[in-house]
A and B are shown apart, each in its own frame.
Chain A
Amino acid sequence: MQIRQQAISRALSQLPQALLLSLRNHLEIWATVVVVLAAASFMLSRGTGFSITLMTVFAIWAMLAVSLNLVLGYTGLLSVGHVGFYGIGAYTVAALTANPRQELLEGEIIQIFAWPFFAALPVAVALCGVVAFVVGVAFSRFRDDVYVLVSFGFAIIAYNVFVNWQWVTRGPFGIHQIPKPAIFGYTINDDLEFLVLTLAFLAIVVGISWLIVTSSFGRVLKAVREDEDAIEVFGYRSSRYKLAIWVISAMMAGLAGAMLATYTSFVDPNSFILLESILLVAIVILGGLASIWGSLLGALAFVLLEEGVRFVPFLPPEHVGQVRQIILGTLLVLLMLFRPQGVAGRFKL
Chain B
Amino acid sequence: MDILSRPGRPTLILAIALTLLAVAYIGWKVTESPDQALQFTITGLNVGAVYALLALGFTLVYSTVWFFDLYYGAAAAIGAYFVFYLRAGQTTDASYDPANIGLNIALGAVVAGVTAWALHTAFFERMQGRYPPLLVRAAYLLIAVGAGGYTTILLLYPDNLHQIAAPLITLISTAVIGTVLYWALGRFGFGSTGSSRLVTIFSAVIGLVAGATAAIALAQTPESRLYISWLVSCLLAGAVSLALYRGLYAFILLRARSTLIMLVATLGVLLTITAILVMVFSNTTHPLPASFGNNLLTLGGATFKEFALFAIGSAFLGFAILWLLIRKSPLGKVIRAIGDDEQVARVVGINTTAIIAIVFFIGAMYAAFAGILTGQDIAIQPRMGLELLLKGWIASVVGGIGNLYGAILGGFLLGVVEQFGIWDIAGEWQDGVALILLIVFLSFWPRGIIPRR
**Contact residues in A for B255 (Cβ distance below 8 Å):** 337
**Contact residues in B for A328 (Cβ distance below 8 Å):** 268, 271
**Contact residues in B for A278 (Cβ distance below 8 Å):** 267, 270-271
Contacts between the two chains (Cβ within 8 Å), count:
134
B119 at the interface (CB under 8 A from A): no
Tell me the chain A residues, 109-165 only, with Cβ under 8 Å from chain B. 138, 141-146, 148-150, 152-154, 156-157, 160-161, 163-164
A326 at the interface (CB under 8 A from B): yes
Contact A153 B258 (CB under 8 A): no
Partner of B272 from A145, A148, A325, A337 at Cβ < 8 Å: A325
The residue of chain A having its C-beta at the shortest distance from the C-beta of B259 within the complex is A145
A174 to B3: give the CA distance in the assembly, Å.
40
Tell me the chain B residues, 359-398 only, with Cβ under 8 Å from chain A. 383, 386, 390, 393
A273 to B436: give the CA distance in the assembly, Å.
19
**Contact residues in B for A94 (Cβ distance below 8 Å):** none
A99 to B258: give the CA distance in the assembly, Å.
50
Contact A153 B435 (CB under 8 A): yes
Contact B263 A156 (CB under 8 A): no
A257-294: contact bitstring with B at CB < 8 Å (1 yes, 0 no)?
00000000000000001110011011001000000000
Contact A330 B272 (CB under 8 A): yes
State the Cβ distance, A341 to closest chain B Cβ, in Å: 11
State the Cβ distance, B262 to closest chain A Cβ, in Å: 8
User: A329 with B275: in contact, given A153-B390, A349-B260, A349-B261 (CB under 8 Å)?
Assistant: yes
Partner of B67 from A141, A143, A145, A156 at Cβ < 8 Å: A145
A78 to B435: give the CA distance in the assembly, Å.
18
A164 to B252: give the CA distance in the assembly, Å.
41
**Contact residues in B for A138 (Cβ distance below 8 Å):** 439, 443
Contact A163 B428 (CB under 8 A): yes
User: A337 with B252: in contact, given A146-B3, A164-B429 (CB under 8 Å)?
Assistant: yes
A149 to B273: give the CA distance in the assembly, Å.
20
Contact A330 B268 (CB under 8 A): yes
Contact B442 A146 (CB under 8 A): yes
**Contact residues in B for A240 (Cβ distance below 8 Å):** none
User: A336 with B274: in contact, given A145-B68, A157-B432, A319-B279 (CB under 8 Å)?
Assistant: no
B412-438: contact bitstring with A at CB < 8 Å (1 yes, 0 no)?
000000000000001011011001101
Contact B270 A153 (CB under 8 A): no
A331 at the interface (CB under 8 A from B): yes
A331 to B275: give the CA distance in the assembly, Å.
14
A26 to B443: give the CA distance in the assembly, Å.
44
Contact B265 A336 (CB under 8 A): yes
Contact A349 B276 (CB under 8 A): no
B21 at the interface (CB under 8 A from A): no
**Contact residues in B for A154 (Cβ distance below 8 Å):** 435
Contact A144 B259 (CB under 8 A): yes
B4 at the interface (CB under 8 A from A): yes
State the Cβ distance, B54 to closest chain A Cβ, in Å: 14
The residue of chain B having its C-beta at the shortest distance from the C-beta of A152 within the complex is B390
**Contact residues in A for B270 (Cβ distance below 8 Å):** 278, 329
User: A78 with B268: in contact, given A150-B439, A319-B279, A340-B257 (CB under 8 Å)?
Assistant: no
A138 to B444: give the CA distance in the assembly, Å.
11
Contact A143 B3 (CB under 8 A): yes
A309-338: contact bitstring with B at CB < 8 Å (1 yes, 0 no)?
000000000010111011011111100110
State the Cβ distance, B384 to closest chain A Cβ, in Å: 12
State the Cβ distance, A309 to closest chain B Cβ, in Å: 11
User: A325 with B271: in contact, given A164-B426, A319-B279, A336-B261 (CB under 8 Å)?
Assistant: yes
Partner of A156 from B262, B264, B275, B431 at Cβ < 8 Å: B431
A5 to B393: give the CA distance in the assembly, Å.
65
Contact A149 B271 (CB under 8 A): no
Beyond the given pairs A146-B442, A164-B426, A329-B270, 17 more chain A to chain B contacts, judged by CB atoms under 8 angstroms and listed by A's residue number, are A141-B5, A149-B438, A150-B438, A153-B435, A153-B438, A160-B431, A164-B428, A282-B267, A282-B268, A282-B271, A321-B275, A326-B275, A328-B268, A332-B268, A333-B269, A336-B252, A349-B258
Q: Top 7 nearest A-B pairs by Cβ distance?
A: A332-B268, A329-B271, A329-B272, A153-B435, A325-B275, A336-B265, A333-B268
Chain A contacts to B: CB under 8 angstroms: 78, 138, 141-146, 148-150, 152-154, 156-157, 160-161, 163-164, 273-275, 278-279, 281-282, 285, 319, 321-323, 325-326, 328-333, 336-337, 340, 348-349
- 13 residue pairs from A and B, CB less than 8 Å apart: A146-B4, A146-B442, A153-B439, A164-B426, A275-B274, A322-B275, A325-B275, A328-B268, A329-B267, A333-B248, A336-B268, A340-B257, A349-B264
Chain B contacts to A: CB under 8 angstroms: 3-5, 67-68, 248, 251-252, 255-265, 267-276, 278-279, 383, 386, 390, 393, 426, 428-429, 431-432, 435-436, 438-439, 442-443
